[in-house]
Structure 1
Amino acid sequence: MINLYQNSPYKLGEELLLANSFFAKGDVYRAKQVLQVEIYQQILLVCEYLLSLSTFEVEENKGDIFERLEHMIEAFQLNSLHPNTVIKCYYSLACHYSKSDDDKALGYLKQCFKSLKQLLQRFELHGDTFFYTIDDWLETIPTGIAPPTSQLQVIERVEDLFQNSQFKELSGRKEFQQMIQKLNDLKKDY
């Protein structure tokens, strides 16, 4: 695998060429769509890259990675745009801080729960006011806009995340128990 990819050229930005070609032909909408779709995909990938990078980094560098990750989540409003990615990010942060800062870990678990509620409100892939051209593209992707699971299964998966042994120290805290109760209450709605 390494031999296949280590000498490959860096990303050349074909999307820029395509967008400029559409613009030159007068198709401004398609030019914007190409760029918005690429930015959308890259933002989600960068979140994954940052999480992966944090696993390879020494402890003192992880804070900077996590801070940048949180800035991306906020800047692109991923909580409403792609809450599934945000759940994964905040869960990873909660796991990391469960070793050193219970309050921070609990705060990230609260963010996971908040993102879960966002996901359940609009249970499909979608654009927003910045990514206003991607909905047509999302309709064409092979997986479609609907997730390959039910809302109840998503709630149960998040509930399983909260049962991670790393959160054993938090399990006695009132806020943690309240979130578990809220997850149980959510399950009743689905």
Structure 2
Amino acid sequence: MNEIHLAKCIAKKRREMNITQEELASYIGVSKAAVSKWELENSLPDITLLPRLASYFNISIDELIGYEPQMTKEEIRRQYLYFKGILGTKPYLEVQMELDEKIKKYYSCFPFLLQMTVLLLNHYDAAEKPEDVLMWALNLARRVKNESKDINDVKAAVNLEVMLDLVLGKPKDALELLDESVRPLSQETESLAQVYQMLGEKEKAKRVYQISIYQHLLTLVAEAAQYSMLYEDDKEKSTEILKRSLQIADIFQVSKLQPNAIVPVYYSAAILYCIQGEIDKSIEMMEKYTNTCLESFFPFSLHGDDYFNLIDDWLLELDIGNGAPQNEKFIRKSMLSAVKDNPAFHGLRDDARYKSIIGRLEALVKERG
């Protein structure tokens, strides 16, 4: 697709300066007929003339040819949501080709590349060759890491590279990117809140504290689910981890506040109890998992509640807004696959309660085709 708008720009700028084609031709050193052909899109200026034209119109060469190498945050968000949407309606390969063209056009817009890396990471498993998509995403992350001068972009790229290495089954590569020392959490957020408080701006201080508590809460719940899996051979320890995690989640009503944070806890608990032979407890956790998926998940949006009543605006400011990073169709399928295809649950295939759970999750998938 031709996205060079040189002809329109030359004609527009020439009229704005109130000069004739002949006057422009005389300055550039070409014939009047040549300028006419440029404006009619019958031919293009020689590439060596572009600096002179841009200088004459007092604009950059990018502006002259109508090329915008960078996107705004809002434009990046729209692109993410657009591609996320069509991934559920168009053939994956078709979307992949369109995405590739967009990436090539904005290959120097590193915030855009980061978000497209996230997009690929969230939807790679629907591709005919998932590993190829993961490698594509990995190369994008590495480009940002190696080329960007923005420290925040570089940090985000490294984090994405680590995640991709893990998905690709390359933990040693991931470890090389990480500093193995575990440092105390940054006090920047607390300091910012204290600054606002000393300035008498209590509402801003409250908002900062709420955002911080919200993030720490979700991190605690999510990491506890992963932590518990390390104690699959220690029933007492794993049970205590899950108990405390679920108590905290219940206190803060995480199942309603952020259902995608509590679902992994229920899921991990179901696996652990199944491995440990506690089938009734495993089914109980699986039912909580299913109920949350069916009753609290859709339509998905990040939001606050009566306790976290100052964070909604902040959530809307996130890179892709307060929506899910993954296409809803993919989310529904993954909810079913996690239970149906996990070898840990294969021993439950004849259990009527397990069959009922699978049936309910299959209905959830069919609900949106």
Find 1:71's aligned residue among 247, 251, 260: 247
In the aligned structure 2, how far is the partner of 1:154 from the partner of 1:172? 26
Are residues 49 and 188 of structure 1, via their aligned partners in 2, closer, same or farther at CA, if it must alter by over 3 Å? closer
In the aligned structure 2, how far is the partner of 1:7 from the partner of 1:178? 44
Matches within 5 A, 1:21-170: 21-57=195-231, 59=234, 60-99=236-275, 100-117=277-294, 118-120=296-298, 122-163=299-340, 164-170=342-348
Are residues 40 and 169 of structure 1, via their aligned partners in 2, closer, same or farther at CA, if it must alter by over 3 Å? same
Structure 2: which amino acid aligns with 1:82?
Answer: Q
TM-score, structure 2 length as denominator?
0.48
Structure 2: which amino acid aligns with 1:171?
Answer: R
In the aligned structure 1, how far is the partner of 2:355 from the partner of 2:329? 20
In the aligned structure 2, how far is the partner of 1:123 from the partner of 1:45? 19
Structure 2: which amino acid aligns with 1:173?
Answer: D
What are the superposed Cα offsets for residues 120-173 of structure 1, whole Å, 9 maximum, x if unpaired? 1x4111111111111111111113211122322211101001111211222212
Matches within 5 A, 1:2-17: 4-6=179-181, 8=183, 10-17=184-191
In the aligned structure 1, how far is the partner of 2:279 from the partner of 2:353? 11
Are residues 180 and 34 of structure 1, via their aligned partners in 2, closer, same or farther at CA, if it must alter by over 3 Å? same
Partner in structure 2 of residue 18 of structure 1: 192
Are residues 4 and 153 of structure 1, via their aligned partners in 2, closer, same or farther at CA, if it must alter by over 3 Å? closer
Cα pair 1:106 1:170 within 8 Å, conserved: no
SS of equivalent residue, structure 2 residue 297: helix
Cα pair 2:336 2:365 within 8 Å, conserved: no
Are residues 96 and 127 of structure 1, via their aligned partners in 2, closer, same or farther at CA, if it must alter by over 3 Å? same
SS of equivalent residue, structure 2 residue 348: coil
Greater Cα shift, 52-61 or 75-84: 52-61
> What RMSD in Å do the two structures reach over aligned CA positions?
1.9
Are residues 175 and 43 of structure 1, via their aligned partners in 2, closer, same or farther at CA, if it must alter by over 3 Å? same
Partner in structure 2 of residue 172 of structure 1: 350
Cα pair 2:207 2:311 within 8 Å, conserved: yes
Structure 2: which amino acid aligns with 1:78?
Answer: V
Select the structure of larger CA radius of gyration.
2
In the aligned structure 1, how far is the partner of 2:328 from the partner of 2:291? 15
Partner in structure 1 of residue 41 of structure 2: none
**Tell me, which stretches of 5 or more residues in structure 2 are unaligned?**
1-174
Structure 1: which amino acid aligns with 2:244?
Answer: R
In the aligned structure 2, how far is the partner of 1:185 from the partner of 1:12? 45
Are residues 7 and 50 of structure 1, via their aligned partners in 2, closer, same or farther at CA, if it must alter by over 3 Å? closer
Cα pair 1:50 1:69 within 8 Å, conserved: yes
TM-score, structure 1 length as denominator?
0.90
Q: How many residues align?
A: 188
Structure 2: which amino acid aligns with 1:69?
Answer: S
The alignment-based identity, stated in percent, is 26
**Tell me, which stretches of 5 or more residues in structure 1 are unaligned?**
none
Return structure 1 stretches of 4+ with deviation > 6 angstroms. Answer: none
More contact order relative to length (CA 8 Å, sep ≥ 6):
1
